[in-house]
Structure 1
Amino acid sequence: THVEEHCKEQHGSSKCSPCNKNEYIEYPNDFAKCLGCQICREDQVELSPCQKARNTQCACRNGTFCSPDHPCEMCQKCRPRCAKGEVELAPCTPYRDRRCGLPAGTPSSSSGDTMLIVGVVVSPIILILVSCVLWKYCCQQSAGDRTGVGSKPRTAVDSLVRQLTRCCRGGPGTQDNILNEQLSQDQLPLRASGVETSSSPGPEAKPRNNLVPVPGKDPVNLLQRSFDIFAEVVPSAEWRRYGRALDLLENDIDIAMKNDKGSRESFFQMLKMWHNKKGMNASVNTLLDTLQEMNLAGVAQDVSTRLVKQELFQYEER
């Protein structure tokens, strides 16, 4: 059903009427009219017709599929057959491509890839361990040379280690200088970017002030009146992405955009659909926060300013 006449008394009720033919609404709502039923595309078949409380159910034709994890803009053809040496693991369905793989008991080629990955991961670890051992060995030898304690005749291994590492050349002071230089280099990117390296915390970004409805007016009516301002300020190129960010289904967005496609009315209908789904949990602050999450903070600020200027909402007192 949809609202034919809104309630006029404070404790009255609205007059509702059933949807007409080829119309539906799946959720409790305050729409002035029902939504138009979906018409299956040429590459789809109709699984069940449209009903007053459920939209038309469509699916891809035989030999084609659409993943349920992605918007079904068009059905894709399934793989006609498996490649040579492979067998069919799962058939083609309207929601998944044909799956192929090696027969059971056949050694997988992925084992070689696994060994390669293990080698790539383990080799640096071994290299680090060897470097640590050489470092410790070299420094111990150098300490023995300086103190004269524990010194032993040099062997071929000692000479080779010294040539490979040269880790203690110049004594402990040299190592301290190398460490200090490394620490200094680590600080350069921070200083270049203007980040303070001191322990005192910097100023935090000022959070957006929440809005509350103007006292004495119907909050639901104020929220719906705000949709016109959102439609005016939010760039049309971002409307679909905005709908997805509000957790609307792709089909819901398509239905809203079918009415006066490309106009502000279609965006208005999309927000009404969102309001219809959220019910009492719908809030203008959710719409503004979603814009900020989409890196459209400037748009959110512009909308907030207009809502306050038109006396629909006011900033919440802290």
Structure 2
Amino acid sequence: MSTPPLSMSYIHLMVVLIWALNTMAAAQSGLEMTQTGGSVRNRKQRDISCRENLEYPHDNICCLNCPAGKYVKAYCTGALEKGTCEDCDLDTYTEHDNGLRQCLKCTKCRSDQVTTKTCTITQNTECQCKPGYFCAPDQACEVCKKCSRCKDNEVSVKNCTTTFNTVCETRLPTSSTISGKTPGPVFLIVVAVLGITAALAGVYWMRRKPFKRTDTQNNPSATLKVVVDDQNNRSIEERQNNQNAVLDDTQLYPLLEQTQAENDLIKLVPLNGDESLKKSFELFEELDVHYHNRFFRHIGLSDNAIKSTVHLHPEDRVYELLKVWLEKVGMEADMNDLIKALHYFGQRLSAENIISKAIENGYYEYAENEK
């Protein structure tokens, strides 16, 4: 019996349908490959696991790292091979074996830091804060901080380093304060006797002083600072200042002679007007602490102004009193007057150091006709 024509048509229809489905599947697969850009390959690339610190992945294989001081100039072409490694250029480095395509840039120390180790191709630059400044290691060191100074009633138990600030503690009370005992009668008598003796010596010295002053009249080279005090026109404070100034001058035997050498000092000219003078105040920190009161009286400050800063650290005290002097003198304030005052008290070395630093820092220069 022959197969009916209808059955043959059915078979042909099924073949055509299967062929069409296969064609569509192939086209869809090709479309997905095109849209993903080879995602199959990418998935394999991501699935590669190379040995840490020994290899790096490239093109579905693991290449061996380049050594420290070098970088990968060209990738490897086979698994477990090393590509082309090239030395780092100037001011660049790599500290460890790596698969980097370029070296890292060397760090540049900031202006408030000093370089402790120079950068090489295998080690980065190492920096630390300048002396007198610190930066805590547990904080981001964006800027170095100035070391603290202990107060007058404190003592330093740990000096400032580049990584830790000064550590201060309050001074321990004296044994007499701890015991709480009041001074005995013998102690009070001794103190009273010493006080009376000092008072009598002071009276004797004050009475004898005018006779010493007349002796200078026989010596034409000696010059004495004479204080004119009109009690009707001057305040009590001014009269006291004058008396203290005379006492200071009489204690400075070699400094009473104002020679022509003081007038021959090299004059300084500011490069930035008033700013030059203000910035130079910090240079006077080296002034001998024993001359503080006499120096500031000499340049015209009152005893009250001087005593108002007695609680400050000596360096801070000098800076504050110079600011008071600047406010008082105003437009007439001159660096040369401060230098003359230093010479008046025999502080020539300090004067030379201050002049040298003022010129080095660009605050002042020598007057044109004085160079």
What TM-score range do you get, normalising by the shorter chain? 0.3 to 0.5
Pair member with larger Rg = 2
Larger RCO, structures 1/2 (Cα 8 Å, 6+ apart): 1
TM-score, normalized by length of structure 1? 0.33
